Amino acid sequence: MNKKRLAAPFGLWMLLFTVIPLGMVLWFALTDDAGNFTLQNLPKIAEYSDSFWYSLYVGALSTFLCLILAYPLAFSISRRSERAQRTLVMLVMLPMWMNSLLRITALKSIISEKGFLNRLLELAGLPTQHMMGTTGAIVLGMVFDFLPFMVLPLYSVMTKIDGRVLEAAQDLGANAFQVLFRVVLPLSVPGITAGITMVFVPSVSSFVVSKLLGSAQTTTMIGEVIEFLFKGSAPPYYNVGAVLSLVLMVLMLLCMAVMSVFDKDSDEMEGMMA
């Protein structure tokens, strides 16, 4: 059977749900309400620069915290027996079986003013904490929501690291930190780049977390701005929302391009080591 025919369903799927929607976004971004070609929408990007920078800041901080938490966890799982690995990976994936909206709502009930955490502090005689409506709450929600997307790529790469390589490094006099930074870290770069991409891209464009855990005191994230322009405003500003979506897609593509450069360098280094 012709290979092109086998790929036809996927090509049709991409055409209907990727190419055509992207074309519609481009169309609305470069037209006015009457459908006439215009570049008047582009200068309006500057009006939302604060939201762009805030989204990049929240996304970068959430990605960094996910990496710090996921790296030792993934390495620890990869060094266990196969049976323990399957169990621990299932526990990591378990929150992903629940809808993201439900997970964030559950987190909201924990950190709210009268939530479980503040009640626990009251019982312990400690002062309660105001967390809802802050940047910290949004970052916490991002980490809570996207941490498995960092753990799984790191784990999949670390399981391929031969334990004999680590033993050889120790036999040559390397201590635990040297083994980590000179052997494990370089070999796990592909997992790091994949995890950063899988966490940073959705965290920058997310609007559900900021909408549920943020407030009027925090800067609105760009995903929430786009959602408001398309659905919340009356009348909806499709053209402005489309141009903001286009800029966000360009930023995401740039991020993926940078990550692919690091991934290529790591592949070359692995080839030299082999």
Contact, 75 vs 203, CB < 8 A? no
pLDDT number for residue 266: 57
pLDDT number for residue 273: 45
CATH architecture of the domain formed by 48-221: Orthogonal Bundle (1.10)
Span 166-197, pLDDT tens digits:
888 888 888 888 888 888 888 898 899 999 99
Contact, 238 vs 24, CB < 8 A? no
**Backbone phi, psi, residue 80, to 5°:** -85, 175
pLDDT 10s per residue in the chain (274 long)? 567 778 888 889 998 988 999 999 999 999 988 888 988 888 989 999 999 999 999 999 999 999 999 999 999 999 899 999 999 999 999 888 888 888 999 999 999 888 888 899 888 888 888 888 889 999 999 999 999 999 999 999 999 988 888 888 888 888 888 888 888 888 898 899 999 999 998 999 888 899 889 877 777 899 999 988 988 776 788 899 999 999 888 888 888 787 777 666 555 545 544 4
Predicted TM-score of the model (pTM): 0.87
Contact, 55 vs 218, CB < 8 A? no
Return the domain boundaries, the chain.
48-221
pLDDT number for residue 62: 96
Cβ neighbours of residue 178 closer than 8 Å, sequence gap 6 or more: 169
Comparing C-alpha atoms, which of 200, 217, 238 is closest to residue 55? Answer: 200
Question: What is the average pLDDT score of the chain?
Answer: 87
